[in-house]
Structure 1
Amino acid sequence: MDLLECRLAIDDLDSFVADLGAIGDRHGTTVQAFDARYVADRAHLERAVELADRAIERGENVARDRAVEILLYAAGRRQIDRALEMGVDEGGGPAVILVDGTGENEDKNETEETAAADAEAATIETLGDLDAVVGIEPTLDAVDRETIHTFFSITDAERSATDASLGALVRERVALLEVQK
């Protein structure tokens, strides 16, 4: 998995999403864009990919599309329309675009892993050329705690009861989706 942290300015969301899908198809990767304000950290997205792939492998996935299944897990929700709040929208703002070339098969040999990494790098390069990508810059460094607290229903009482990081609490919500099925 690789990430493109960037600033987006999207004029037509449907066109942008179609572009992401076409780029992913061209390079044999899965591509999903997130509003960076909803992402706790890199490990949050890594866990979502892991759990989405496990659900797909077991035939327990909700979405037909792997990118959407990853979005569902990242959002900790089973309803696609509720999970979409975590995605990007028209207008501008900080984003993180997830690119994964490994697919559902984790038992890849070294040659396949190298090919997946090359496909991810090519996808990232192509994504950087999109008109909607107006700047490549760190977007996961400035965590929007209020947005994350609200979206994932993390209360002040919960925060004061633990010394766990915000990222750990979000990853717990992501993992709880498995239990709530």
Structure 2
Amino acid sequence: MELVEGETTIEDVGEFVAWLDGIGDDHDCTIQAFDARYVVSRAHLARALELADRARERGEAVARDRGVEVMLYAAGRRQIDRALECGVREGRGPVVVLVAADGADDPVQAERAAASAVGAELDQCGTLGDYDPERVRAYFDIADPELDATDAGLEALVLERVALLDVEK
């Protein structure tokens, strides 16, 4: 898995997603873009990818598309419409783009090439770890009592939401 971080201006979400899909098709990779304000860490997306792939292997995936399944896990949601809230939107903003090989002969090279193509069009800068805590808490429904009851912190609670999606099926 490669992650590409940066800022970009998206004039049309459909065109942006189609552009990413084209790069993915060219390199045998799944490419999924997220609004970086909802992504708490690299581990957040790595765990979402791992669980999405496991669900697909078991025939338990909700979505037909691997990228959408990853989005569902990253969002901790079974409803696609609700999960898309943590995806990209029109306007300028921080993004993190997940690139994961999908059947490529040389997965490492495929991911690097696809990530390079995506990165060439972003204003690259660090976005991971620069999430909005209040936005994340509201989205993942993490209230003060829950946060106060643990020493683990917000990232751990988000990772728990990602993992609990399997239980909710």
Bin for the TM-score computed over the shorter chain:
over 0.9
Give the whole-Å Cα distance in 2 for the aligned partners of 1:8 and 1:16: 10
Deviation sequence 1:131-154 (CA, Å, 0-9, x none): xx2x10000132210011000001
CA RMSD of aligned residues (A): 1.4
1:29-178 alignment, distance < 5 Å: 29-101=29-101, 103=102, 115-130=106-121, 133=122, 135-178=123-166
Give the whole-Å Cα distance in 1 for the aligned partners of 2:119 and 2:41: 21
Q: TM-score, normalised by structure 2?
A: 0.96
Give the whole-Å Cα distance in 1 for the aligned partners of 2:64 and 2:130: 33
Shift, 1:117, TM fit: 1.0
Give the whole-Å Cα distance in 1 for the aligned partners of 2:58 and 2:130: 36
Deviation sequence 1:96-145 (CA, Å, 0-9, x none): 000011x48xxxxxxx5xx1111111001111233xx2x10000132210
Q: TM-score, normalised by structure 1?
A: 0.90
Percent identity, please: 57
Give 1:107's aligned residue: none
Which amino acid letter does the alignment assign opposite residue 92 of structure 1? R
Deviation sequence 1:63-117 (CA, Å, 0-9, x none): 110000000000000110000000001101001000011x48xxxxxxx5xx111
How many residues are matched?
Answer: 169
- Unpaired stretches in structure 1, ≥5 consecutive residues: 105-111
Superposed structure 1 runs of 4+ greater than 2 Å apart? none
Which amino acid letter does the alignment assign opposite residue 129 of structure 1? A
Deviation sequence 1:10-68 (CA, Å, 0-9, x none): 01111110011010010011100000000011100000001000100000001110000
- Unpaired stretches in structure 2, ≥5 consecutive residues: none
CA contact (8 A) 2:40 2:129 kept: no
Shift, 1:8, TM fit: 1.3
SS in 1 for 2:77: coil
SS in 1 for 2:69: helix
